[in-house]
Amino acid sequence: MKIWHIVGARPNFMKAAPVYRALARRRATQTIVHTGQHYDAAMSDVFFRQLGLPRPGHNLEVGSGSHAQQTAQVMMRLEPLIAQARPDWVLIYGDVNSTVAAALVCVKLGVKTAHVEAGLRSRDRTMPEEHNRIVTDHLADILLTPSADGDANLRAEGLPASRIRRVGNVMIDTLVRLLPSARRLSPLGRGEGCAPFVLVTLHRPSNVDDPRHLRTLVAALERIAVEAPVLFPVHPRTRAKLEGKTVKGVTLAEPLGYLEFLALQTRAALVVTDSGGIQEETTYLRVPCLTVRPNTERPITVTLGSNELIGTDPEVLVRRARAILRRGGKRGRVPPLWDGRAGERIAEELTARTRR
Ligand code: UD1
């Protein structure tokens, strides 16, 4: 079985790792293509190293650009490689520009794709990822969903049941495997048994691209920092918008490696984020999470997990953060099939469909 994995941006790497490992156990011939959407060492190399992913067979080096430029460059550079290699399956992950670009290339070459993390919908048309999700799901041959809401969304859009397979959450596979290694680290001076702190990530265009809105969120973080230290590893997109400003009481750090960030999540009293993956990781870890967005494509983290969707009003953020720091927050439950075996189920499904 000849498998290609297309990855490009930070949240793809932890999803591809368990699938790669499960397929390696089945002796599949595998190639990783890195589109180069994320290229900083801190956004890419450290993840390959920590996750044990082999070096990519191809790096398309597309880099940054507008959505159209990035998507088009991935398509142009990927097409000749896929046309020549003609893998049995191309695996695509999540909802980034590299994902939709790969789906378009493969479907037109008649090469089969499997979409890992299919079916998620925020129903927010201002979110670039929402378009990537919808287009990718309608093009892919197998839709591998993390939870029942994913299946329901796909069925509601008319996608046939035969293409949908619920496998659980692959990102949790990586978390389960690497938790013991993460627990041995003390990033930013926070080891086991440290005093309570708040961990923050913000990088969504809707939160960081408008400097006025970003300033109001940063002012809210300064007020939260009066209650407990705030640690904020800053995504390059956010860093550019902060323009070197210091934030009172808030430790601004470079983006962290996978293990370092996981270690901090396990010890945080509260996580404040607008990331998708972090809503899921905190749900698994049962750490209270406030999501600074009006909607989420991962509703199960709210209905079952430890996540609370609070919108983007800084006053609400401060109020909810204070309440959680003083009285504790929701712990929730771990959703079904978030059990560390999703990669195995994906490998089984691909093997079965290749034999047919
Ligand atoms: C992308 C994904 C988003 C995901 C996020 C995780 C899309 C549409 N968005 O957003 O879903 O949550 O990755 O990080 O695919 N930059 C660097 N170094 C890098 C990468 C980016 O400096 O290694 C800077 C550049 O200025 C770039 C900006 O960050 O223009 C944004 O990068 P881009 O890949 O366009 O989108 P993200 O905001 O990272």
Q: State the distance from the centre of ligand 1 to the C-alpha of 39, rounded, in angstroms.
A: 10
Pick the atom of ligand 1 nearest to 95's CA: 11
- Assess whether 132 and 274 both reside in one domain: no
Residue 356: pLDDT over 90: no
Q: Would you say residue 48 lies in a domain?
A: yes
End-to-end alpha carbon distance in the chain: 13
58-106 pLDDT, tens digit each: 999 999 999 999 999 999 999 999 999 999 999 999 999 999 999 999 9
- Residue in 12, 35, 37, 273 to alter for ligand 1 test, most ligand atoms within 8 A of Cβ: 37
Pick the atom of ligand 1 nearest to 235's CA: 14
- Residue in 46, 237, 241, 242 to alter for ligand 1 test, most ligand atoms within 8 A of Cβ: 237
Pick the atom of ligand 1 nearest to 98's CA: 15
- Assess whether 113 and 135 both reside in one domain: yes
Q: Would you say residue 333 lies in a domain?
A: no
Q: Would you say residue 267 lies in a domain?
A: yes
Q: How far is CA 22 from CA 16, 147, 277, 280, 349, in A?
A: 10, 20, 21, 21, 11
- Assess whether 69 and 119 both reside in one domain: yes
Active-site residue 203, yes or no?
yes
- Assess whether 160 and 204 both reside in one domain: no
Specify whether the CB–CB gap between 297 and 133 falls below 8 A. yes
**Quick one: pLDDT at residue 244?**
81
Q: Exactly one of 5, 34, 203, 235 is catalytic; name it.
A: 203
Is the distance from the beta carbon of residue 149 to the nearest atom of ligand 1 less than 6 Å? no
- Assess whether 127 and 190 both reside in one domain: no
Q: Would you say residue 332 lies in a domain?
A: no
Is the distance from the beta carbon of residue 57 to the nearest atom of ligand 1 less than 6 Å? no
- Assess whether 157 and 236 both reside in one domain: no
Q: Would you say residue 286 lies in a domain?
A: yes
Is the distance from the beta carbon of residue 11 to the nearest atom of ligand 1 less than 6 Å? yes
- Assess whether 157 and 183 both reside in one domain: no
Is the distance from the beta carbon of residue 294 to the nearest atom of ligand 1 less than 6 Å? no
Domain count, the chain: 2
Residue 281: pLDDT over 90: yes
Q: State the distance from the centre of ligand 1 to the C-alpha of 318, rounded, in angstroms.
A: 27
CATH number of the domain encompassing residue 349: 3.40.50.2000
Q: Would you say residue 97 lies in a domain?
A: yes
141-158 pLDDT, tens digit each: 999 999 999 999 999 999
- Tell me the residue range of the domain where 343 lies: 2-169+338-355
Q: Would you say residue 302 lies in a domain?
A: yes
Is the distance from the beta carbon of residue 237 to the nearest atom of ligand 1 less than 6 Å? yes
Q: Kindly report the pTM of this predicted structure.
A: 0.97
Q: Would you say residue 196 lies in a domain?
A: yes
Pick the atom of ligand 1 nearest to 37's CA: 34
21-65 pLDDT, tens digit each: 999 999 999 999 999 999 999 999 999 999 999 999 999 999 999
